[in-house]
Chains A and B, each alone.
Chain A
């Protein structure tokens, strides 16, 4: 039996002896593997980007919405249920739970904001000092609205980065009096420029004390309550405690919806992981195409090399040896193509990373190894048919066929 080292040497010499053919196969294989590596890296990058966006929402956050938005079994209620409003006292009651660190009640509305002749319709967010902690807000200048009892309003406000630019331009904003609706508020702080967090532009808004917002929009109810749990482990107990406390306060009715950041995160995580796999599968098709190319080129190679195969048989090569020679050639071709593709893919990822700096594009290890493995597998799989044909050639037919 032929030595394995000699088998590989022979295959290598054959690859070098047919450069055009070899380059063609290498190119096809490389593109296939590179596609897998780059596309999965993009999918993975998108997933990580979304995860990062979620953590900028604030850590260990729980959101409480009024109204039950859950499908449950049983007959529908005869009368349309009107959910009870959430109030500031509901929010304050949540501090009873040890799992809760901070509670920020939120009232949201839209109102015209003006300074001197400039006016702008922006989002008005009524909340308490705790919001700074819960949403991890950073201030560029001044201070955040302070806690002097959530029931007491104060004529102060914190403005977003965009709003400051639009209203004040290059002028000093701190200490100026803004008109919001029919009321006047003094600017005590400016938010630092932050990235969008999931669609909410926190640059173009004004933050005022929650009681002032209730007065401004003439409402008693809260839009939602944001809660910061003590830690990652206390998210679940906090959620349970919140439901319990509100149920007690609302005459035993489950009329709120509690969303944890984790559950949203997990959903997005699942969606993006599925997406990455789908992209990888599409990329794998290009590998299969490369495999078919290998098969065709090997079949052509065999018809060009029948005389060589006949000679090898005349010199005493067994069918197994001929098979081995052609399989190893297909295997080596796909391995080299795969490695080239890996290099190409990793290179493109580095380049993409430099172009889009806040979007990290790194192929997961499973994709790189999987791409390489798949390349090898298709090469060997599609190399099998031509190799078998070569092995079963009759020596006399192979030898007497003239080129």
Chain B
């Protein structure tokens, strides 16, 4: 599903060039469960952003479903994100003035889906994550775990092929973190490819395939 060939990502910081990613080669098949671990500054978040088309590689080739997506125009990339990729962030990124169900339905709203259809789908997604009773609550009326599950419901509502999660439990206590991980793994069991970036070794060990990064390179790639 995903083929990365010789991906480099450089940042200019003052007069220095920082190599966030160096010659990354990576193939990912549909339905995989992958964790990416490594110390701060090892490039794992940059890799995730490039996989999610939120960032552009400085050089290299990125094929998504055999399509060279890094050569697409901004709006075409937006369409790929909208149709195939869901995101879960460490800081939830919910819109504070919208109710939980409106937050969940937001990707469909942006895609121009009529209210009946999108509300129905949003309800189903919230039902599946056990937060259906929180539909009309606003984010500030929800606990951290509930907020992250709203964010997961939002990520899954477009029925994407790939979900990218950047430290999804980083801001949660152990119990809520556990619920969130189980929710994400539940999606993976339904065939959605799941990639999680994390600091937490216990969390990383749960994935079937574990990538370890250091200094912009993948230093180990273990399957179990």
Bound-state CA distance A143–B67 (Å) is 105
A13 and B97 form a contact (CB under 8 A): yes
Find chain A residues with CB under 8 A from B106 CB.
312, 315
Is A269 interfacial (CB-CB < 8 Å)? Answer: no
A320 and B75 form a contact (CB under 8 A): yes
Q: Which of A1-9, A169-177, A222-230, A338-346 contacts B (4 or more CB under 8 A)?
A: A1-9
Chain A to chain B contacts (Cβ below 8 Å), 9 pairs: A3-B109, A3-B112, A6-B112, A17-B96, A314-B52, A316-B110, A318-B74, A318-B78, A396-B49
Q: How far is the CB of A131 from chain B (nearest CB, A)?
A: 76
Q: Mark interface residues in B47-80 (1 if CB within 8 Å of A CB, else 0).
A: 0010010110000000000000000001100110
Is B95 interfacial (CB-CB < 8 Å)? Answer: yes
**In the complex where A2-B112, A396-B54, A399-B89 touch, is A318 in contact with B75 (Cβ < 8 A)?**
yes
**Which of B96, B97, B110, B115 touches A315 (beta carbons < 8 Å)?**
B110
Find chain A residues with CB under 8 A from B81 CB.
313-316
Is B124 interfacial (CB-CB < 8 Å)? Answer: no
Is A295 interfacial (CB-CB < 8 Å)? Answer: no
B110 and A314 form a contact (CB under 8 A): no
B78 and A1 form a contact (CB under 8 A): no
Find chain B residues with CB under 8 A from A396 CB.
49, 54-55
A-B contact count (CB 8 A): 72
**In the complex where A317-B110, A396-B54 touch, is A311 in contact with B95 (Cβ < 8 A)?**
yes
**In the complex where A17-B97, A396-B55, A399-B93 touch, is A317 in contact with B112 (Cβ < 8 A)?**
no
Is B18 interfacial (CB-CB < 8 Å)? Answer: no
Is A153 interfacial (CB-CB < 8 Å)? Answer: no
Find chain A residues with CB under 8 A from B83 CB.
316
Bound-state CA distance A321–B115 (Å) is 18
Find chain A residues with CB under 8 A from B112 CB.
1-3, 6
Chain A residues at the B interface, C-beta cutoff of 8 Å: 1-3, 6, 10, 13-14, 16-17, 307-308, 310-321, 394-396, 399, 402
**Which of A307, A308, A319 touches B75 (beta carbons < 8 Å)?**
A319
7 A-B pairs closest in CB distance: A316-B82, A17-B97, A396-B55, A396-B54, A318-B75, A395-B54, A315-B107
Residue from A6, A14, A394 having most chain B Cβ neighbours under 10 A: A6
Is B142 interfacial (CB-CB < 8 Å)? Answer: no
Find chain B residues with CB under 8 A from A1 CB.
112
Q: Mark interface residues in B81-109 (1 if CB within 8 Å of A CB, else 0).
A: 11100010101010111100000001101
The tally of residues in B whose CB lies under 8 Å from a CB in A reads 29
**In the complex where A2-B112, A3-B114, A396-B55 touch, is A316 in contact with B97 (Cβ < 8 A)?**
no
B87 and A314 form a contact (CB under 8 A): yes
B110 and A321 form a contact (CB under 8 A): yes
**Which of A6, A315, A394 touches B82 (beta carbons < 8 Å)?**
A315
Is B111 interfacial (CB-CB < 8 Å)? Answer: yes
A399 and B110 form a contact (CB under 8 A): no
Known contacts A315-B82, A318-B74, A319-B75, then 19 further A-B pairs from the complex at CB < 8 Å, ordered by chain A residue: A2-B110, A6-B109, A6-B112, A13-B98, A307-B93, A311-B93, A311-B95, A313-B78, A314-B81, A314-B93, A315-B107, A315-B110, A316-B158, A317-B78, A319-B74, A394-B55, A396-B49, A399-B89, A399-B93
**Majority-rule SS of A interface residues:** helix
Find chain A residues with CB under 8 A from B115 CB.
6
Bound-state CA distance A17–B96 (Å) is 8
Bound-state CA distance A17–B138 (Å) is 12
Find chain A residues with CB under 8 A from B82 CB.
315-317
Closest to B155 in A: A315
Residue from B79, B96, B110 having most chain A Cβ neighbours under 10 A: B110
Find chain A residues with CB under 8 A from B91 CB.
402
Find chain B residues with CB under 8 A from A318 CB.
74-75, 78-79
Find chain A residues with CB under 8 A from B154 CB.
315
**Which of A14, A311, A321 touches B97 (beta carbons < 8 Å)?**
A14
Bound-state CA distance A327–B78 (Å) is 20
Find chain A residues with CB under 8 A from B95 CB.
308, 311
Find chain A residues with CB under 8 A from B111 CB.
2, 316
Q: How far is the CB of A97 from chain B (nearest CB, A)?
A: 78
Q: How far is the CB of B112 from chain A (nearest CB, A)?
A: 5
Q: How far is the CB of B45 from chain A (nearest CB, A)?
A: 8
Find chain A residues with CB under 8 A from B107 CB.
315-316
Bound-state CA distance A399–B49 (Å) is 10
Find chain B residues with CB under 8 A from A310 CB.
54, 93
Find chain B residues with CB under 8 A from A315 CB.
81-82, 87, 106-107, 110, 154
Bound-state CA distance A1–B78 (Å) is 11
Closest to B98 in A: A13
Find chain A residues with CB under 8 A from B89 CB.
399
Q: How far is the CB of B219 from chain A (nearest CB, A)?
A: 24
Closest to B110 in A: A317
Q: How far is the CB of A8 from chain B (nearest CB, A)?
A: 12
Q: How far is the CB of B108 from chain A (nearest CB, A)?
A: 9
B98 and A399 form a contact (CB under 8 A): no
Q: How far is the CB of B135 from chain A (nearest CB, A)?
A: 16
B52 and A2 form a contact (CB under 8 A): no
Find chain B residues with CB under 8 A from A312 CB.
106, 110
Bound-state CA distance A3–B110 (Å) is 8
Q: Mark interface residues in B120-131 (1 if CB within 8 Å of A CB, else 0).
A: 000000000000
Q: How far is the CB of A7 from chain B (nearest CB, A)?
A: 9
Bound-state CA distance A2–B105 (Å) is 12
Q: How far is the CB of A2 from chain B (nearest CB, A)?
A: 5
